[in-house]
Amino acid sequence: MPTEPQILAAPLDGHSVRQYAEVTGMLARFNAALQPGPSAFEERSGHAPDTAEAEAALRLALVAMSEAQRRIERQEARIRELESLSVTDDLTGLFNRRGFDMHLGKALAQARRGERRGAVMMIDLDRFKQINDTYGHAAGDGFLQAVAGVLQADVRECDVVGRLGGDEFAVLMTDLERASCGSRARALTDRLNDHVVDWQGTLLPIKASVGFVEYGADDCAADVLQRADELMYLQKNARRSGAGMAN
């Protein structure tokens, strides 16, 4: 079963380490200036410690701390960006296979705790190769983006949509009552197959074969995906046989 990868925070770069060392030294000087111990100078002169140096050290420390904090925030933002890229499909903005598997693993863990049930849909586009061959890869990319838009627009916020690769998509529908699983899957399938993409004045209908399975506490991710995939190909073969359709 896929498990969520552990994301480790990147260490500070060399410049940030030096900033922290400088800050530590400045604060030590500031503290020593405010609370000095007996010194030979004080014993000889009888003067109080000079606070000007402490104030200057404090100002420099605050500046250095602010700069170090900004560097840390930039590094944290970069870590979040890289984490997002690792689970996101560049073309469509959907989750990629890795991201979808992570969410499916979480959903199945919740099901095992008795919290939720749900369903998985595997979607494979029909005649997609013909679009690439006839209109070019730019048209194919636009078509895939349109499919992604249709799927995203027709799911709930808690659902997960992924592009698993090529012209294959998947939808994870979480927290569903058993009675509503089939109806929601059929409704999404119908709306997807009713959609038409306008590519530079040419109307390209979306046609997709869909396999749909429910999951529960006893299921594992590999079995759920395999069952959905098998049902999807059964539908594809039936559609191909009935209409003489090329893939």
- Residues taking part in catalysis: 167
Helices 14-34 and 51-86, packing angle to 10 deg: 150
CB distance 176 to 118 below 8 Å? yes
Amino acid at 134: T
Write the DSSP string, 24-84.
HHHHHHHHHHHS----HHHHHH-PPP-HHHHHHHHHHHHHHHHHHHHHHHHHHHHHHHHHH
Distance CA 178, CA 90 (A): 34
End-to-end CA distance of the chain: 31
* Token couple for 247: 């893939």
